[in-house]
Amino acid sequence: MANPPMATIVADFLTDLTRAGKSANTVRGYRSDLGDFGRFFTGPIDQITVGVLRAYLGGLAGKAPATRARREAALAALMTWAYRAEMIAADPMTRLDRTHPPVSVPRPVPTEQVEAVLRAIPKNRDRDRVLFLLLYTTGMRVGEALTIEVDDLNLRRDDEHVTVLGKAGRRRTVLLDDSTLVALLRRYLKARGYRHGSLFRAEQGPVSVATPSACDEDRNRILNGVCR
């Protein structure tokens, strides 16, 4: 018996993704991208050849690299699923070169903006000043900075560094090679008397993204809403 039409195959594939615990955004994205392919090809999945895929992907030549890569990823996931389910004898996507979008290099915040933020931080908000400089000079994520414990810091001269908890629970060491930041950290810890526990604290508990902020608009924007 011939395989069912593409629309039915895609529906079954999306159902399996949902059952496997994929996020709603992932399923929604695959539905959109595979729907576009389904309007191009309406036959059964075992009739999808390298030529069919090449013709479809060739029609995306005017799209942005990220869009082409996303459509290719959706097709590759579908074909892999169909091959494992023995709906197709071979995976035609493995015979095509994939699009690799160029990696964009993050642009640093202009110096004048950094100086404006520092001027805007009240002198009695030493925590905000330390947090902002830590993010700016090390490039660490806001979430990483907010999980730092005092015990994660090493401020021994010529060996200043901090251990942060990154993605997937991986720990990594970040060098603290900015002398202004190191001096501020030392003064901050001495003034607060912190020896253990969270480095950045609100009135009740550690600072979090949801903690109400006293920061002005410019700092709020540059710190991505975290300067509590």
**Per-residue pLDDT, 162:** 93
Cα three-residue angle 135-118-124, rounded to 5 degrees: 100
**Per-residue pLDDT, 13:** 95
The encoded tokens of residue 211 equal 């903690």
- Are 177 and 189 in contact, with CB atoms under 8 Å apart? no
**Per-residue pLDDT, 58:** 94
**Per-residue pLDDT, 101:** 82
Q: What is the DSSP letter of 171?
A: E
The encoded tokens of residue 153 equal 């810091």
Q: In whole angstroms, what is the distance from residue 198 CA to residue 142 CA?
A: 14
Q: What is the pTM of this model?
A: 0.50
Q: In whole angstroms, what is the distance from residue 17 CA to residue 27 CA?
A: 7
pLDDT at 37 over 60: yes
Share of the chain above pLDDT 70, in %: 84
- Are 181 and 136 in contact, with CB atoms under 8 Å apart? no
Q: In whole angstroms, what is the distance from residue 116 CA to residue 221 CA?
A: 12
Task: Work out the number of other CB atoms within 10 angstroms of the CB of residue 116.
Answer: 13
CA distances for 79 relative to 6, 12, 34, 87, 191, angstroms: 12, 13, 11, 9, 60
Task: Work out the number of other CB atoms within 10 angstroms of the CB of residue 221.
Answer: 13
* Distance, C-alpha 25 to centroid of its chain: 14
List pLDDT tens digits, range 76-103.
999 999 999 999 999 999 999 999 887 7
**Per-residue pLDDT, 3:** 66
- Are 223 and 114 in contact, with CB atoms under 8 Å apart? no
- Are 64 and 86 in contact, with CB atoms under 8 Å apart? no
Helix pair angle (111-120, 126-138), 10° resolution: 160
List pLDDT tens digits, range 166-180.
777 788 899 998 999
- Are 135 and 215 in contact, with CB atoms under 8 Å apart? no
Decide: residue 79, CB within 10 A, 0-12 exposed, 13-18 middle, 19+ buried.
Answer: buried
DSSP string, 45-93: GGG--HHHHHHHHHTTTTS-HHHHHHHHHHHHHHHHHHHHTTSSSS-GG
